Amino acid sequence: MTANVFRFEFEPSVVIAEAELTLHLATYAVEGLYGEARVRLEAAYRLDESRNDILVDGGTEVGAALVKVFTRLLLREFGQDGFHVRLANAQAAVASSVQCPGGSSPEGAGERTSSGV
């Protein structure tokens, strides 16, 4: 993840797995605009279950569209009090992120990363 990383922080009442499924739905919508290959190349996120947050890279045209669609779907599903979104510290996000195609990370790590959501 590079610049324009957005941190979606969820309230404790929001199940992070449900939020991740919403991100996947947003990804399908963005694939309709840009195609599956381009989304696989340009979209990336990191989920941290222990912090109940998801970082989404909005630094590309595809990533920016993903952030917008994801935000709208979250508002519809969880309401405006269910989450907060803000620009993250891109340096820290990059340093702590290891991009793993397919959304997997070492077992027990408590976080999943995906390049090509």
Q: How far apart are CA 65 and CA 41, in angstroms?
A: 14
Structure tokens at 22: 């919403």
Beta strands, E only, the chain = 5-10, 44-48, 53-57, 83-87, 111-115
* Sequential pLDDT tens for the chain (117 residues): 446 999 999 999 999 999 999 999 999 999 999 999 999 999 999 999 999 999 999 999 999 999 999 999 999 999 999 999 999 875 555 445 433 334 433 333 345 556 665
Q: How far apart are CA 103 and CA 115, in angstroms?
A: 7
Phi, psi of 77 (to 5 degrees): -85, -45
pLDDT (0 to 100) of residue 89: 74
Cα-Cα-Cα-Cα dihedral of 51, 26, 71, 107, to 10°?
Answer: 0
Q: What is the pTM for the complete model shown?
A: 0.78
